Amino acid sequence: MQSSRQNKVIMQKVVFLDRDGVINRDSPDYIKSWEEFEFLPGSIEAIKLLNLNGFTTIIITNQSVINRNMVSKEGLEYIHALMKKAVKSGGGDIKDIFYCPHTPEEGCDCRKPEPGLIYRAQKKYQIDLPTSVMVGDSAKDIECARRAGCGLSILVKSDNIANTEKILSGKKILPDYVALDLYDAVSWISNHFL
């Protein structure tokens, strides 16, 4: 008889990815439909490269569009299904997507920088967090990675990079690497681990 430990799938080399600003173009008006969703250059190829190098990719994203009543849960999941399908068509795979539907005012434990989403992923997949990596474009992503105990965090440059770096510096939290985009981040991760 197998032990329960043997029945569990232990995933190694997990990379958590933020969505907006990392995989797709962010918008101050939020992404409310598939028509508004636009992959950033190289992001699909970057996820494929992660997978080819043995990394599992999991999305960790704040999506307050739900509780702001801008899109339904089903609408968001439709966007995510099409995103996953497009990534799969490009040769990559997104293992799972964990999202927070709450607004900042709701004070939940899952809205980044809180680590709740990463903890949920860790529990579901038995992830060894000290060997995991978080890639994001905001101070919230990097702080979330540190709070959750991720081994490495990478900041992807965005239009708001100066303010993001100022916030992180003020909190004495520094990313392990600042990348030009997701593809650059993935190249750094691959070189760091291989």
DSSP classification of residue 24: B
Q: Which helix (H) or strand (E) holds 44?
A: helix 43-52
Structure tokens at 100: 């927070």
Distance CA 113, CA 99 (A): 13
* DSSP string computed for 144-190: HHHHHT-SEEEEEP-TTHHHHHHHHHHTT---SEEESSHHHHHHHHH
Unique residue bearing structure tokens 């999202």: 99
Distance CA 97, CA 84 (A): 9
So which residues are the catalytic ones?
18, 20
CB count within 10 Å of CB 97 equals 22
Distance CA 133, CA 152 (A): 5
Structure tokens at 189: 């991760």
